[in-house]
């Protein structure tokens, strides 16, 4: 079967069986799954900031990724790669976090302002990382030239239509340095010496940065603090910063995955002083990687391959991603023990898949990796999870934007491609700012083998939102072996029209590359006519689907 015929079989509902690297067409199971969208059970507005991004000075993210330099032949605006800016506008990029990550706690913002030729060269935080691919030459990724600094990043946000989210250095700078960074970015035109310095760099008006992270991973690379020590530092940094008329939003460095004690002890310590002060958001980091198969849980060894994975690793990785649901509800419940009025929301400011080195497109791209259809399913199921908790999650930032971990783009010199993860952000953009609706998804669980033992995972995952009379329903089918025939109903309304767009591949390892950039792209697929208010749709194996449902 040719690829086009194969994909068309998948899209029209034929079930596909995984045979080694290839799928073969099979009969779909009859509707054994059901999705009910409950119009009268709104959860909350889906914050557009859930569709946030992350740019760190790490490997090829900034240099070779976002920043190509003003004198480059690669189309750019003031040194910023145009292709990324244009693609960011198409997905309505809402917010971008910078400059790290671990890098943030070794970064001095003063190094990156003023004339580029005068900026100092500094060793990058990641210089000694054991993951550097062999043959990575020296360059700005190891010795940062600081050619991309605050004004360059803020210009990138402005061009992309996104809000900036800056992470302060809590480990190696003082609170005063932080106040001065806020002054540089936000003080009124001409009001302070730093405002004049900003004007000299070409930006007279304040940048009006609202989101500020107070450190990063303060339990680890951000200072190795105890929660009590961090709570004290948080207060010192966040309490008395001038607002310059803005509603500043401070984000605390939250837990590593399921570390509930970090959340409990930090909130407990803040509560002792009578409240949460300037704490607007509580950061949560969760990466998904393969943990079984005799691997250690060390950064380098404890991971699977980005492209060459056996079936069990497919399931295991997606199950790890699906832990996001319990991480959100568990930390939310701990936060509620102290924050009874629910003033503080969750900010999942690092999430995504993390594989071992080897699939990066260039040796300078430390932690660079390919992104397959598996990553698209992971992105879809994670975003659906955020929507289902729209009342709790105020922002999320996939790690990272380009050339690093679960990227939306891969770029090297003049080569540039969109990954399957980008296409998920494109398909899901309609959810931004819409009202999330309770959506019951019921499907048989999928059985697989984890570490030699039987395990199961969700058969389908999804979420729905409404704006005017338009419902957006997004669904991932993580089963690489079978399409899932599903009855879909919108309780309390009649469906008038439906359109369906799907991201699907003919091989679970499929990905886009510089040579074949369009292997995985969204495709319009056939929607059946609803009968008796119920729509039957077959979700292709290993797919991400967006249904646009117009209500009568
Ligand atoms: O995203 C890569 C790194 O992962 C970040 O710098 C750090 O915050 C996390 O451990």
Alpha carbons 242 and 110: distance in angstroms, whole number: 19
Look at the chain and count its residues: 552
* Cα of 348 from ligand 1 centre, angstroms: 13
Q: Which two tokens stand for residue 381?
A: 């199921």
Is 2.60.40.1180 the CATH classification of the domain at 3-45+436-551? yes
pLDDT value for 31: 83
User: Are the CB atoms for 1 and 25 separated by under 8 Å?
Assistant: yes
Residue position matching structure tokens 């000299």: 200
Strand ranges (E), 93-142: 95-98, 122-123
Alpha carbons 378 and 400: distance in angstroms, whole number: 14
Catalytic status, residue 49: no
Alpha carbons 261 and 254: distance in angstroms, whole number: 11
pLDDT value for 530: 84
pLDDT value for 185: 98
Atom of ligand 1 nearest to the CA of 54: 1
Low-confidence ranges of the chain (pLDDT < 50): 1-29, 294
pLDDT value for 9: 38
Alpha carbons 189 and 205: distance in angstroms, whole number: 5
Alpha carbons 347 and 384: distance in angstroms, whole number: 15
pLDDT value for 6: 35
Atom of ligand 1 nearest to the CA of 104: 6
pLDDT value for 76: 98
User: Are the CB atoms for 374 and 314 separated by under 8 Å?
Assistant: yes
State pLDDT tens for residues 70-126: 999 999 999 999 999 999 999 999 999 999 999 999 999 999 999 999 999 999 999
48-432: CATH class: alpha beta
User: Are the CB atoms for 484 and 537 separated by under 8 Å?
Assistant: no
pLDDT value for 328: 98
**Does 400 sit behind a cis peptide bond, omega within 30 degrees of 0 on the bond before it?**
yes
Best residue for ligand 1 mutational test, from 101, 218, 360, 365 (most atoms within 8 Å of Cβ): 101
* Cα of 537 from ligand 1 centre, angstroms: 39
Catalytic status, residue 205: no
End-to-end CA distance of the chain: give it in Å, rounded: 40
Integer angstrom CA distances of residue 529 from 325, 488, 536? 33, 11, 8
| DSSP 3-state of 217 | coil
User: Are the CB atoms for 265 and 227 separated by under 8 Å?
Assistant: yes
Alpha carbons 349 and 505: distance in angstroms, whole number: 29
Q: Which two tokens stand for residue 440?
A: 């019951």
pLDDT value for 526: 77
Which amino acids bring their CB within 6 angstroms of ligand 1? 56, 100-102, 216-217, 350, 399-400, 405
Where are the chain's structural domains?
Answer: 3-45+436-551, 48-432
Q: Ligand 1, atom 8: nearest CA belongs to which residue?
A: 101
């Amino acid at each position: 079967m040719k690829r086009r015929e194969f994909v068309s079989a998948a899209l029209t509902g034929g079930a596909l069986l995984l045979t080694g690297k290839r799928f073969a067409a099979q009969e779909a199971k009859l509707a054994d799954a059901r999705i009910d969208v409950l119009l009268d059970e709104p959860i909350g507005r889906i914050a557009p900031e859930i569709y946030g991004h992350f740019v760190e000075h790490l490997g090829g993210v900034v240099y070779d990724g976002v920043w190509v330099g003003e004198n480059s032949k690669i189309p750019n605006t003031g040194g910023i790669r145009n292709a990324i800016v244009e693609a960011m506008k198409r997905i309505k990029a809402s917010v971008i976090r910078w400059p790290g990550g671990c890098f943030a706690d070794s970064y001095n913002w003063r190094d990156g302002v003023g004339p580029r030729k005068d900026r100092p060269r500094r060793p990058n935080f990641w210089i000694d990382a054991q993951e550097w691919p062999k043959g990575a030459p020296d360059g700005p990724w190891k010795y940062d030239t600081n050619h991309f600094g605050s004004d360059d990043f803020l210009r990138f946000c402005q061009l992309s239509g996104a809000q900036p989210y800056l992470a302060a250095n809590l480990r190696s700078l003082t609170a005063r340095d932080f106040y001065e960074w806020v002054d540089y970015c936000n003080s009124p035109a001409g009001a302070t010496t730093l405002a004049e310095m900003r004007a000299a760099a070409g930006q007279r008006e304040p940048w009006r940065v609202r989101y500020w992270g107070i450190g990063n991973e303060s339990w680890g690379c951000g200072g190795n603090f105890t929660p009590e020590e961090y709570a004290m530092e948080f207060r010192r940094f966040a309490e008395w910063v001038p607002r310059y008329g803005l509603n500043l939003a401070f984000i605390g460095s939250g837990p590593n995955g399921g570390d509930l004690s970090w959340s409990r002890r930090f909130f407990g310590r803040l509560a002792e002083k009578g409240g949460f002060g300037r704490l607007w958001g509580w950061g949560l980091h969760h990466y998904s990687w393969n943990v079984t198969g005799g691997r250690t849980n060390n950064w380098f060894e404890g991971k699977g391959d980005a492209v060459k994975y056996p079936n069990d690793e497919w399931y295991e990785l997606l199950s790890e991603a699906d832990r996001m649901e319990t991480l959100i509800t568990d930390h939310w419940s701990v936060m509620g023990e102290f924050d009874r009025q629910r003033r503080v929301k969750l900010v999942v400011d690092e999430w995504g898949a993390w594989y071992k080195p080897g699939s990066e497109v260039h040796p300078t791209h430390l932690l660079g990796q390919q992104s397959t259809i598996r990553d698209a399913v992971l992105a879809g199921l994670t975003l659906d999870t955020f929507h289902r908790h729209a009342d709790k999650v105020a922002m999320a930032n996939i790690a990272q934007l380009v050339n690093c971990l679960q990227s939306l783009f891969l770029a090297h010199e003049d080569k540039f491609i969109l990954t399957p993860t980008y296409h998920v952000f494109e398909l899901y953009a309609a959810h931004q700012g819409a009202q999330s609706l309770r959506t019951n998804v019921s499907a048989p669980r999928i059985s697989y083998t984890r570490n030699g033992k039987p395990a199961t995972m969700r058969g389908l995952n999804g979420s729905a939102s409404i704006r005017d009379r338009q419902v957006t329903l997004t669904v991932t089918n993580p089963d690489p072996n079978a399409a899932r025939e599903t009855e879909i109903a919108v309780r309390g309304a009649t469906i008038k029209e439906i359109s369906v767009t799907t991201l699907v591949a003919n091989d679970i390892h499929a990905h886009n590359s510089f040579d074949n950039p369009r292997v995985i792209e969204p495709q319009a697929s056939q929607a059946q006519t609803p009968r008796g208010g119920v729509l039957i749709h077959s979700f292709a194996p290993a797919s991400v689907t967006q249904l646009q449902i117009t209500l009568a």
